[in-house]
Every structure is written in C-alpha cells, then in structure tokens.
Chains A and B, each alone.
Chain A
C-alpha cells in the first residue's frame, strides 16, 4: 500500500504527467472575451518555448492593424506589411520595445525584432484609430483567446501553476490578473476565468 502511494506520488510529480488545459475567459454576464492573452507558468516558472523564434506579421489593411492582438515568443521578428494605398507611421513607446517605422507605399514591409518580454502597444501616428498589441512572452504556454473566449494548451505539466490573463481593456492593474491553479495529471481540464473590461477608448483627435 505504501509502495502504491509512493508510485502515485511519483507519477503525479513526474514530467510525464500532463493534461490538456482550456482556459475559458468570460465576462460576468457570460459573454466570451476574445483577444485575451493567457500565459501559464507551471510551478511558477516559465516553460521552455519549445519552438525556435520565427517571423510573425501584423498587416495594415483598410486603416486597421490585423491582428488586433499578436502573441510572439521572445526573440521573434514581426513584419508590418502595408496593404493600404496610404502611408502609415507605425510606432510604439513601450519599455519592452520602442520603435518607429515609416511605411510609404502599398505592400512595403519592414520587420522589428522583439527581445524583451512585455506588452508592446502599437499606434499609427497618422491614423489615430489604428491600435494593436503585441504580447512578447517568455513561456512556451501562451495563447490568445479565440472568438469563443477559449485558449487551449496541450501537455501542461501536472501540479500547481500560475496563470496570467492580459487584455488591453481589462479592469485590473496593468490590464492583467493572475491566479493559481492546480493542473490535473491527465485528461482535459477547463478553467473558467471571469473578467471585467473597460469600454475601448475613443480616438482623441480633434483635427
């Protein structure tokens, strides 16, 4: 009996024990919250990213950035192709990455490398209504919620973990909330998280 208990404990704490985790983000009224970035830290530590950094893309089309929220691992490059017929002046003043790109013409693209974890808000100095966010993450377990408000993770190590949820309009300090959860050794686990959002800001330009 003692031997069985020891074996079970060993199995629970073994790296091989892992579950599929779905984080479901909703408002208090039950509405799904898309574009929330969920990051998981098994045992409170970043997980290895697993994949090599690669190039991502944020397009400028119809005077909007697309996607609105992009999740990239540290060390990734993001290209900014301009598919509009007008000029765009993309910038960010975030501590995670400060840059400025002058995109003159249609289909002109330039890339920026993101070497520090953090949130990088993007703007266009010519078109105030253009807003997007890059979440540069330092853990392999990072995903953006889909239209149904779900972020899915496969093979999350069992045991205690820290989950962080960030959304540009989240009503919380630094637009982020953190919670502790216990990941089951096997199977599929759903974690529901209720959040409150602020209304998106209106463009503040008068001329």
Chain B
C-alpha cells in the first residue's frame, strides 16, 4: 500500500514537473541551451540587449527600445509572438520565428480579410508591431503615411479630384480611414504644426516633441496650451494659445478622425455623398482633443472643452467644415443683416400701399398740367 502511494506521488510529481516545464517553455520563453528570452513572462530585456542596438543586429533587425517599450506588445514580451525560435538562437536558429497576429487579433484579422484590402497587404504591410500604438495614440498624419507606402499620393489626388470638390483639402485634413473604413464616432484631433524658423514659405510640419519641449522649457509641453495645468483645455486657453505672439510659428491643425478604427477597408458609397459629413449639423461636431507628440512616438490626447471647433474665430482658426462647424452667433448676425434688407421693401412697401390714392391723384394732376 505504501509503495503504491509512493509511486502515485512520484508519478504526480513527474507530471506536474513536465506540465510546468511545457507551460513555461510555451508561454514565457524558458531558457534553452544557455540563451534566454527573459526570465519571466512579459520580459523582453534579454532580446533587446542585442536587438535594441543597431550595431549588434543590423538595421533590419533593430528594435527601437523606446518605441517598443510603449507598445502593448511589450507587455506580453518577445517570445509571445516569436515562439518559433528555439533555444539555439542566435547561434543556431535564425530568422524571425514568424509571429501570427491572429493569435491575439483574430476578430480584426477576420474583418480585414473580408475587406477589399485584405488580399493586398498583410498586417505587417501597414503596422510595425514593434512600434504600433493604440488608435488614440497615433496621429492621423501617421496613419496616412501607412497608406502612402503603397498608394502613390499623386495618383490618389488625381482619382479624388475627378469627383470630390476640394480634394486636396480633404486629403490634407482627413486620415484615409475616416472615409475608407466603416469606422465610427468621429472626433476632431488638434495637432500642433510648426513653421520652420526663418523660412516664411515653408510648409507647416507636425511639431515634434523636442521642438515643443524646447518651447515649454522644463514644464510639460501641455502647459503651452493648458496654462492652468488641469489636464483639460478650455476654449479660452485655446484662444490664448492661438493669439499668443510667442507662438506665431505654431498653429493648430484639426483632423476628423474615427474614435473606433475599423479594418473593413472599402469604398463606401455614403462617403461619396458629402452630406454624410457636412449635413450632420453643428451639434454633432463638438468633441475634440489636443494631440501632443510624446518622446516615444505616441500621441497623448487631452480633452478640449465641448464646442471649441464651433468658436467663431480663435478657438480653431484653421479648422472649418462647411455646414458642420458653423457658429451660431454669426448665423444670428447674418439673419439680422438679411432682415435689415427687408425693412425697406416691407416698411416702404406698406406705406406705398397706403398712399396709392394720394399718389394716383397727384399723378393725374401732373398729367393735366
């Protein structure tokens, strides 16, 4: 009986050891042959000790630790995706040990595969998994740069010019995904753009974190706009920023961006109908954010007071969508002006009607003279 019990304990211990070893090897990247992906789940430090230095692994295999560390992928660690590499790496097994995005992003993969874009590019064609940010952390301009890798800007402009009024302006102010996916919940993201010093005719570029930090000094770059430091930008603070002579080289560029990005890339007929965006009225366009570049390449969004883009002049002086961001006060002034033009016809016309007998009588007298 004792022997049977001992055997059972030994077998159980052996099974537990084997299960534990297998789990650790699959999920965490255990040690093989003297090389380690990292001691525990989510650690990529050992990988980055080589791959974080371009001189060690070459430009192609270099992973920028600052950019990577910010990604969600960093939280699960290199081995979670690169599980095909065995313990002989780097001396033995080479290559990427290809990751399959579907392990985690199955629903997005299915949506993307069903879209008209699915056959044309893999996930990696657009996304760099070592730099990827969440939708709210990426600038609208950067998403367009992804598209521009394959879609020649001149060709895209020519195609849109055929049917879209102000095509150049639309493409400048919108990320492609706003129209070419079934994304929902649009907001206005306001980016700080900067003119190069001394170059009056230089196109405005997105201001970098370093450029803004230089202006802000030792303070947080948000303090350039959010003066009271409450992590919220009021319309008054926006006005002050836009009027501040010290920031003459800076402007705010607004872009209408989907809050929930979809991967259902397609050409949507309702986007060809301008009223999809332009006829939804001012009430729908009141949510906006200041998007500030961070050192790690992501963008930090800070909420702006509702209705900022509807401000008549200085809230967002360079952002206006016809029909959608019109100002109510200007509407009232305009109505008063038009009504003023009716005063003469209505008032004078009424007196003219009342005096018609007198005028007719006088006319007859004049003709008899």
Q: Is the pairing of A and B real?
A: no
Q: Chain A: residues with CB nearer than 8 A to chain B?
A: none
Q: Chain B: residues with CB nearer than 8 A to chain A?
A: none
